[in-house]
Amino acid sequence: MRILILGGTTEASALARCLAGRSEFSPVLSMAGRTSDPRPLPIPTRIGGFGGVEGLAGFLAKERIEAVIDATHPFAALMSRNAAEACGRMHVPLLALRRPPWTPQEGDRWIEVSAMEDAVRALGEEPRRVFLTVGRLELPPFAAAPQHTYLVRTIEPIGKALPVPNVIAIQDRAPFDEAAERVLMERERVEIVVTKNSGGAATYPKVAAARALGLPVIVVRRPEKPRGVEEVASADAALEWLERRHGRTP
Ligand SMILES: NC(=O)c1ccc[n+]([C@@H]2O[C@H](COP(=O)([O-])OP(=O)(O)OC[C@H]3O[C@@H](n4cnc5c(N)ncnc54)[C@H](OP(=O)(O)O)[C@@H]3O)[C@@H](O)[C@H]2O)c1
């Protein structure tokens, strides 16, 4: 069974590991190519955009794909939309593998906003020390608030993405650890955290550390994903779905 996994997430990599060595499945994992040295995985990988809905539909036909797992990040809205449209057009079954969002816990001081520009405004006029963990590509709107000091953590170097006077840039990638997050926030005298509501365990420690330190967190809500697509929350559940479909294939 030819399977396309749309990846770039921990869940996609976990599913890739589940499928490796299973002779009844022939998976290919696709990544956008935003990270220059993605961690190697034990299944064939392709990198780069498909060229919109048309390009993806062409890929599905050429590679004789029989099922697509959309395991992209909850904030990768365009890819999910394209996948829904291309799969619908080509009559290829589609499953979304999506981690549930985080929800506020007792003691959390969340300020929820719907867009990155709203997060910038929510920081306020007074200069603050901000822990900015929204990803390199989301930094430019924060240039509109140059009065703050930004502790920015990204996987890739930020280059000129945040042209403000006070930036402390660190490069690191998940999974993170709550104790280490607390040490970092205390050392850098962080006053407020900005994050997307990514969900999942790997980047949650910053939220837990902020709660422990009594710090407010600006949480950017998820964008809309296409409706009507069957959804599961774990790689194991996606594997079961594939096994059921494979059982039905003549
Ligand atoms: N957005 C985030 O916060 C975030 C965080 C962590 C990881 N990621 C991962 O980073 C990648 C890009 O995210 P994004 O938010 O920029 O996506 P996006 O806005 O939804 O997609 C933009 C374009 O990137 C290409 N693309 C996206 N995901 C792809 C994939 N898995 N394989 C091949 N092409 C892909 C597609 O190009 P074409 O139209 O040319 O096909 C798509 O139209 C995704 O793989 C996502 O899972 C995103």
pTM for the full predicted model: 0.93
Q: Which residues on neighbouring strands pair with residue 46, listed in sequence order?
A: 30
Per residue in 109-152, pLDDT tens? 999 999 999 999 999 999 999 999 999 999 999 999 999 999 99
Q: Write down the architecture of domain 2-100+224-248 according to CATH.
A: 3-Layer(aba) Sandwich (3.40)
Query: Cα torsion for 105, 111, 116, 117, to the nearest 10°?
Result: 180
Domain ranges of the chain: 2-100+224-248, 109-220
Q: Whose CA is nearest to atom 16 of ligand 1?
A: 76
Percentage of the residues of the chain whose pLDDT score is greater than 70 = 99
* Neighbouring C-alpha atoms within 13 Å toward the C-beta of 78: 7
CATH number 3.10.129.10 given to 109-220 = no
Q: Whose CA is nearest to atom 38 of ligand 1?
A: 49
Residue to mutate, 39, 69, 70, 72, ligand 1, most ligand atoms under 8 Å from C-beta: 72
Cβ < 6 A, ligand 1 pocket:
6-9, 30-32, 34, 49-52, 55-56, 72-73, 75-79, 82, 135, 196
What is the per-residue pLDDT for 39?
A: 84
Would you say the CATH fold of 109-220 matches that of 2-100+224-248?
yes
| CA 76 to centroid of ligand 1, rounded, Å | 5
**Cα of 30 to ligand 1 centre, how many Å?**
10
Note the pLDDT of residue 249: 59
Q: Residue 248: what pLDDT?
A: 73
Which regions of the chain are under pLDDT 50? none
The neighbour count for residue 49, using CB atoms within 10 Å, is 13
